[in-house]
Amino acid sequence: MQFEVFTLLPEVFPSYLETSIIKRARERGLINVRVHNIRDYTHDKHHMTDDTPYGGGGGMVMKPEPVFEAIETVLRLNPPQTPAEPASIVPIILLTPQGRVFDQSIAQELSQYPRMVLLCGRYEGIDERIREHLVTDEISIGDYVLTGGELPALILIDAIARLLPEVLGDPTGAQDDSHAMGLLEYPHYTRPPEFRGWKAPDVLLSGDHAKIEKWRREQALLRTFNKRPDMLEKTELTKIDLKFIESLKSGSKR
Ligand code: ADE
């Protein structure tokens, strides 16, 4: 997976990309992140990337020319790795609070692409022509406003990378994650079996895998029921799950 990041603040990225699982994924060639400085694609004396808004008002607006030139240059100079793939199927994603709100299913969807562009907005906004004629998708990481798209871009890279085969050491990978199954994940315990008088559930030490599976499924349902009941509406549930949820509603298992 090739990420092409376009930003005015390239210095934000290395520390995170050189850490832990993301670092190893890069070293193993499972992901490649290239960070491009939009300012390198300016041609005026002052390397201007922003300007005052037409019509007046506060703040500055990101100029279209350097953004177009940066992305067009990189996509043309480095054709996608799959030879038959047209450049047009490389999504050009603008990080913006106006985008569709990022979640696990969007991470799954984006993990299918071999290559993508992440464009980090800054200042008060971007010239609308970038949005209309260059960008193919807009993503927000939540209903709040940050100073720029750099942290959102790192969040996308992290969430997408860990879904790629082999990035996580565990062979079951990301399949049990909270949200992956449409439920919050069950609770985890490790040694010691008792800590300050608080015991790990006996079932987890029983060695009975069927019982453990059942307990984990019920815990995931219980957690989701208590913390994120909205998720239960959208998740595929078995008859046994539904029966368990009915028992929660009637108060017998809470
Ligand atoms: N840029 C500023 N705020 C943002 C948000 N919430 N999501 C994505 N990009 C942003």
Of residues 65, 69, 124, 138, which has the active-site annotation?
124
On average, the pLDDT of the chain sits at: 93
Compute the average pLDDT of residues 14-36.
97
The model's pLDDT over 185-199, given as tens digits with 9 standing for 90+, comes to: 999 999 999 999 999
pLDDT computed for residue 253 by the predictor: 64
Between 212 and 254, residue with greater pLDDT: 212
The model's pLDDT over 51-99, given as tens digits with 9 standing for 90+, comes to: 999 999 999 999 999 999 999 999 985 554 455 555 558 999 999 999 9
| Ligand 1 in reach of 145 Cβ (< 6 A) | yes
pLDDT computed for residue 78 by the predictor: 55
Gap between the Cα atoms of 77 and 252, Å rounded: 63
| Ligand 1 in reach of 152 Cβ (< 6 A) | yes
Nearest CA to ligand 1 atom 2: 146
Question: Which CA distances in Å does 116 have to 88, 90, 109?
Answer: 10, 5, 12
Rounded distance from Cα 64 to ligand 1 centre (Å): 19
Torsions phi, psi for 192 (to 5 deg): -80, 160
196 is catalytic: no
Nearest CA to ligand 1 atom 10: 96
Between 80 and 143, residue with greater pLDDT: 143
pLDDT computed for residue 61 by the predictor: 96
pLDDT computed for residue 81 by the predictor: 45
| Ligand 1 in reach of 66 Cβ (< 6 A) | no
Nearest CA to ligand 1 atom 5: 97
Question: Which CA distances in Å does 6 have to 71, 80, 124, 140?
Answer: 8, 17, 17, 16
Rounded distance from Cα 50 to ligand 1 centre (Å): 18
At 174, the pLDDT band (50, 70, 90 cuts) reads confident
pLDDT computed for residue 86 by the predictor: 55
Q: What is the spatial order of strands in the sheet that 61-62 belongs to?
A: 50-51, 61-62, 125-126
The closest alpha carbon to 75, from 159, 140, 135, 142, belongs to 135
- Atom of ligand 1 lying closest to residue 96 CA: 9
Give pTM, 2 decimals: 0.92
| Ligand 1 in reach of 10 Cβ (< 6 A) | no
- pLDDT tops 70 at residue 203: yes
162 is catalytic: yes
pLDDT computed for residue 254 by the predictor: 59
Torsions phi, psi for 248 (to 5 deg): -65, -40
65 is catalytic: no
pLDDT computed for residue 236 by the predictor: 94
Compute the average pLDDT of residues 24-32.
97
Give the amino acid at 247: S
The model's pLDDT over 96-126, given as tens digits with 9 standing for 90+, comes to: 999 999 999 999 999 999 999 999 998 789 9
Q: Is the peptide bond before 192 cis (omega within 30 degrees of 0)?
A: yes
10 is catalytic: no
| Ligand 1 in reach of 142 Cβ (< 6 A) | yes
